[in-house]
Structure 1
Amino acid sequence: MAHKAHAHTVQGLTPQEDLGVTLTHEHLFSDGSSFFELDDSDDAEEFANMPLTSHLIDRVILSSCSNRDNINLDNPEIVIAELEDFIQLGGHTIVDVTPEGMGRDPHVLQMISRRSGVPIVMGCGFYCEYSCEPWVLNATIDELMQRMVKDLTEGNDGIRSGIIGEIGINGQERGTLNYVGEMTPMEERSLRAACRASIETGAALSIHQPNRASAVPKILSVLESENMKPEKVILCHMSSIWDFSMHLYALERGYRIGYDNFGMMLKNSRMRYLDDSQRMDWLIEVFKQGYGDQVLVSHDIWCKVQWKHFGGGGYGHFLRTIVPTLLSRGFTDSDINLLLVKNPAALIAY
């Protein structure tokens, strides 16, 4: 009998064919403290410690990492309400790629899943060096790999991860503003460990690339040296790389790419995001060039102003706003099903 693929969720196994509409890069409960930076205003300290309220939203959008409350997704009750919107629009499954050290809490995710009815696939592994716990900095490849394998096979109190990542690649040394290249030595060890954990367990690998086109060939070089199968990899945030030829560079080599910041209009010192119009243009072009089965979409909700509760699009934005627009621009129902159902299932089920 042929092996039947399942997604490994925080509530157990879900058959591949039951995953339905799936978002492959979200955060439901996370701690973004490592992103914090004071803005250059006269009241920066006061602003940093203000609770997020409606009158702060416009300012926070323009300085998204400078308000501590904004960068901590710490309210499961709001998340459950936000997921109800996602469900009502036809959504079903969420992949939460919050890695270890960024506030990941398996028990909270399991509670959110039970109460909302949304299957949640939980990530594992380590983010960029600047966010990692001290022990990670000097850990060996094998030590990092074994930590990921344990998360995937045993879990935390039996709550297992079902995907590796998002594995952070940035190039910035911890505690400094120094960039040492496309990735730090610690980030390279983490990436190699993630590859080996993927090969050992069968779980897919989700990689946070630093929104620099020059980083993509370096990342792929490491993957190829570890004999990773391209179809088991998703390169996240590719819609933040303005050079479309680099999107094709990855696709031509068989890798999956994530256009995973739909609805994001935030600004901070690290990034000025493109808008949904450009993201859709690229998505349509990817389908035209025959790579529709290698692209995945999501919102990467990592701060509170992205929630509907605070004026953002929430987890339902793509279904509510982008799907009708794509259909009006020539996408078919089959294209939408490929994008939101078949592609995610092919990635996360094993």
Structure 2
Amino acid sequence: MINTVLGTIKNNELGLTLCHEHFVVDFGGADTPTHYNREEIIATTLPFLSYLKELGCNTIVDATPNGLGRNIDLLVEASSKSGINFITCTGGWDGLQFDGKYIPSTIKNMSTEEIVDFWSNEFFNGINGTSVKPGFIKIALGDSGFLTDFQLRILLAAIETSLKTNLPIHCHCESSKVIEEISHMLEKENFPLNKFVWLHCDIEKNTRLIKKLAQEGMWVSFDYTLARANDFTWYIEMINSMNESGLIGRLLISQDHCIYDLDEKICKKSMDWVFKDLMLLLKDSGFSQEILDKIFIKNPSIVFNI
């Protein structure tokens, strides 16, 4: 079973999936009122979503938690009108150097147990009084090279929420040092690594660590520099190495793009890059359709299965 904003679907209904994108992001801050022009956003994005659907996209994972601009009504309408599955999340984003700017103050003042209750309630009873339930837990930690006390609380809350709900944890982390620390904490908490996704592991391109954690069961996601790269040599070699090592079943690929830019009021056309460029590049490099289907269809259906 997989949670989408329109309800649960079966694993085989997920289809080709972009595992880490953002429909709309609001960078005003978690405690600043969000002003979305819903009609304008839907009118602007619907032709583009239909275009993505024609290219083969069946599901978009919206990795935008509460505080960063998550808008359930907007996601429901976009999914209903486009025919694309949208998966939303619970959790909290404290990435880069923003020091809690995108975590609502109500969450920051909670204990670990209270955060667990809050996030779990979204899963068991729906988000903001709706019937929509999250499909994963999104957190962002350690971009300064260490875990703050608050980020440690967020991580522990995510672990406990996952154990309570079976939701996977998707963790934005740009630091190899921190992800190693996190992996040790997961082991200490007896947390199954196959329920944890290391997002943006392609930023530092720490080949040894990526393969080590994948071998231990963690999911690794190429979703940032891949879509912004001019030279794809490392990616081709790394995907091939993971395939030869039997680790292709631990790989996710996406783009981490925002579909609708609130400032420019346009759609990010570069979101078709996976379908128009990357898949052709991988095929030209000798990867079979079976491998592509595993990366873009089979693996996501495993990750989001609860």
Could you say whether these structures have the same fold, taking a TM-score greater than 0.5 normalized by the shorter chain as the test?
Answer: yes
Please name the residue that 1:61 is paired with.
none
What stretches of structure 2 of length at least 5 have no aligned partner? 31-39, 95-99
Counterpart position of 2:270: 313
Q: Mind listing any 5+ residue stretches in structure 1 that lack a counterpart? A: 1-5, 36-73, 172-178, 266-273
| TM-score, reference length from structure 2 | 0.87
Contact 1:263 1:313 in 2 (8 A): no
State the SS of the aligned residue for 1:296.
strand
Note the alpha carbon deviations across 1:200-250, whole angstroms, 9 max, x for none.
1111111111x1221111111222222211111111011112321121221
Asked if the contact 1:29–1:76 (Cα under 8 Å) also holds between the matched residues in 2, the reply is: no
Shift of 1:300: 0.5
Residue 45 of structure 2 aligns to which amino acid in structure 1? V
Contact kept? 1:28, 1:79, Cα under 8 Å: no
Q: Secondary structure at the match of 2:91?
A: coil
User: Which residue in the other structure is 1:205 paired with?
Assistant: 169
| Runs of 4+ deviating beyond 6 Å | none
Identify if the C-alpha distance between structure 1 residues 99 and 215 changes in structure 2 by more than 3 Å, giving closer, same or farther. same
SS at match of 1:139: coil
Q: Which residue of 2 aligns with 1:164?
A: 137
Q: How many residues align?
A: 289
Offset of residue 276 of structure 1: 5.8
1:141 corresponding residue in structure 2: 112
* Counterpart pick for 1:196 among 160, 164, 173: 160
Given the alignment, which residue of 144, 149, 163 partners 1:185? 149
Match of 1:215 in 2: 178
Amino acid at match of 2:302: A
Q: Name the CA distance, whole Å, in 2 between partners of 1:310 and 1:18.
A: 26
Shift of 1:118: 0.7
What is the CA-CA distance between 1:283 and the residue it aligns to? 2.3
Q: Distance in 1 between matches of 2:106 and 2:238?
A: 40
RMSD (CA atoms)? 2.5
Cα 1:300–1:276 shift into 2, 3 Å: farther
Choose which of 13, 25, 28 in structure 2 pairs with 1:30. 25
Q: How does 1:19-168 map to 2 (within 5 A)?
A: 19-33=14-28, 75-128=41-94, 129-156=100-127, 157-165=130-138, 167-168=139-140
Distance in 2 separating the partners of 1:130 and 1:250: 30
In structure 2, relative to structure 1, the CA distance for the partners of 1:200 and 1:244 (3 Å cut) is same
Larger radius of gyration: 1
Given that residues 257 and 268 in structure 2 are in contact (C-alpha distance below 8 angstroms), is that contact kept between their aligned partners in structure 1? no
Distance apart, 1:105 and its partner CA: 0.8
3-state DSSP of counterpart to 2:59: strand
Offset of 1:303 from its aligned partner? 7.0
Q: Is the 8 A contact 2:87 2:134 kept in 1?
A: yes
* C-alpha displacement of 1:281: 3.3
User: Kindly tell me: are residues 290 and 96 of structure 1, through their superposed partners in 2, closer, same or farther at Cα, counting changes over 3 Å?
Assistant: same
**Number of the residue aligned with 2:245:** 289
Distance 2:185 2:116 in 1: 15
Aligned to 1:252: 215
Percent sequence identity over matched residues? 22
